[in-house]
Amino acid sequence: MNGLLEIKKRILDDIVSSGSYTETEEKRIKYLSKKGEITLLFGQIKDIEPENRKEFGQFVNDLRTEAFDLINSLKEKYSETSAETIDLTLPGKLPGSGSYHPLNMIRDDLKKIFRKMGFSVATGPEVETEYYIFDALNMPSWHPARKTTDSLFLSEGKLLRTETSSVQIRTMEKGKPPFRIIAPGRVYRNEKENATHTAMFSQCEGLYVNRGVSFSELKGTLKEFFKILYGKDTVIRFRPHYFPFTEPSAEVDVSCFKCKGKGCSLCKRSGWLELGGCGMVHPKLLENVGIDSEEFTGFAFGLGIERLAMLKYGVNDIRDFTENDLRFLDQF
């Protein structure tokens, strides 16, 4: 009997240790099937002394019932928990979806707004020659604005374009006026990176050349553009400035759309945000591409796309645009 008690303990402990429905079923086969250990114990009755047979038979019978009940209750437990883990009423998991990059959104806004005003989109290469970056833009070799410190030079006299203004020349030399284009694109400068400067950023150039184009048309165009981008109460102002490729030249400021010109942290208490350069196309540029500067005039402007986006979306660090941190990108 001692031996039998040990067998019983071993079998029941083994069944209890089953960790899943399948494992419990494996134990049923191991102990209760035709060739199972408990079933085979019944076959041993004939080897037991007759006076002990009844007790032996009773013991094995009880063991079988106990094992049977235990297995059934374990199976019930496991099928219940597996049913619990599949809750068919839960909403499904949606696959993650991408979003537009804030710079692409601003660039698309720019294109949409200027297209409505009759501008088409022009492009030019990012690897340029000194002719298109300096000479044709009225910066001959002696010109102080031709400072080489922030240009990134490549071999064979090539350089990465420092401004999209080169597209003005490339556009005008390809056809005849009128020209009315914008040219959004990347530019590169040898800059130490910080919260407001990166070596690669984007600009949007604008150019309109025709007979009798005036500064007031430039004003009207930029005013309309900023009203659509930043709201209809937006006011703009021009400050005299110098650019080699325009005369007269100006920097354009936009009334701060956050404080409506009262002064806040965004506009550094000035009420104005600096957004770009502009002016009347210098006659030298027109002559450089064979256009009669007596007959035609034009205006041009250049806007920083990152700056437009930083202000519109409240981004404080320009490096966020290129770091590809999903926590940043997911907000748009």
Using CB under 6 A, list all residues that contact ligand DAH. 163, 165, 205, 243, 246, 277-279, 300-302
Q: DSSP states of 249-267 as a string?
A: EEEEEEE-TTTTTS--TTT
One DSSP character per residue, 169-226 reads HHHHTTS-S-EEEEEEEEEE-----BTTB-SEEEEEEEEEEETT--HHHHHHHHHHHH
CB 36 within 8 A of CB 29: yes
Residue 154 CB, nearest approach to ligand DAH (Å): 19
Q: Closer to ligand DAH by CB, 188 or 243: give it.
A: 243
Least distance CB 278 / ligand DAH (angstroms)? 5
Residue 152 CB neighbours (<10 A) = 16
The alpha carbon dihedral of 318, 321, 322, 323 has a sign of positive
User: Cα separation of 167 and 140, whole Å?
Assistant: 18
Q: Where are the beta strands (DSSP E) in 140-178?
A: 158-160
Minimum distance from residue 279 beta carbon to ligand DAH (Å): 5
Nearer to ligand DAH among residue 205 and residue 306 (C-beta): 205
- SS3 for 53? helix
Between 63 and 167, CB nearer to ligand DAH: 167
11 vs 278 by CB, closer to ligand DAH: 278
- Measured from the CB atom, the residue of 150 and 295 that comes closer to ligand DAH is 150
Contact 198, 322 (CB under 8 A): yes
Closest CA to 99 of 266, 311, 258, 313: 313
CB of 121 to ligand DAH, least distance (A): 15
Which of 75/205 has CB closer to ligand DAH?
205
Check residue 324 and give left, alpha or beta (phi > 0: left; psi -120 to 50: alpha).
left
Min dist. Cβ of residue 118 to ligand DAH (A): 18
Closest contact distance (angstroms) between CB of 201 and ligand DAH is: 10
Whose structure tokens read 């031996």? 3
CB of 266 to ligand DAH, least distance (A): 22
- The minimum distance between CB 162 and ligand DAH, in angstroms, equals 7
Q: Report which of 208, 256, 210, 252 is spatially closest to residue 231, judged by C-alpha positions.
A: 256
In the bound state with ligand DAH, the residue whose beta carbon lies nearer, of 31 and 243, is 243
**Residue nearer to ligand DAH on the CB measure, 69 or 287:** 287
Tokens at residue 300, please?
């041009």
